[in-house]
Amino acid sequence: MTPRKLKFVLAEDNPGDVFLIRRAFDLEGFSYELLVAKDGEEAMRYVQEAAAGTRVIDLILLDLNLPRYDGSEVLATLRRQPFLAAVPAVILTSSNSQQDRERCLSLGANHYFQKPSNLAAFMEIGRIAKELVETRLA
């Protein structure tokens, strides 16, 4: 029996970052399905579907500065859902603000990933995702 594909939700409005994240996941050898939300409203819909039991989420990655709802609002909604409280969540951002970092971690983010300017450092998101998913599934 082959293991099921992991279900990842990525809320990101920058197509270049979506491409890089897919590449990072591919380099880690994930068997995955990536649902891309282009704004916070679409991400909220995916979270609500998962809370209702009609969608599985194994990992959620949230750009902090999304249109409509920002990543921290989506994260707060995710963490209020008992069924989803343990889903690993990564905040993706260009912000180096300590206040943003502390707020997101206090809302329940498992990792705060500041988007780097070089490719090798950006690929680190794949390793981070792998660690979070493996820890949850162990």
Contact 55, 46 (CB under 8 A): yes
The least confident of 21-25, 46-50, 125-129 is 46-50
The domain spans of the chain are: 6-137
Handedness of CA 76, 78, 81, 83 (dihedral sign): negative
Q: Is the per-residue pLDDT at 137 higher than 80?
A: no
Tens digits of residue pLDDT in 73-85: 999 999 998 888 8
Looking at residue 121, its pLDDT comes to 94
Give this prediction's pTM.
Answer: 0.93
Higher pLDDT, 83 or 7: 7
Distance CA 50, CA 46 (A): 6
Q: Is the per-residue pLDDT at 3 higher than 80?
A: no
Name the fold adopted by 6-137.
Rossmann fold (3.40.50)
Q: Is the per-residue pLDDT at 39 higher than 80?
A: yes
φ/ψ (deg, to 5) at 83 = -70, -25
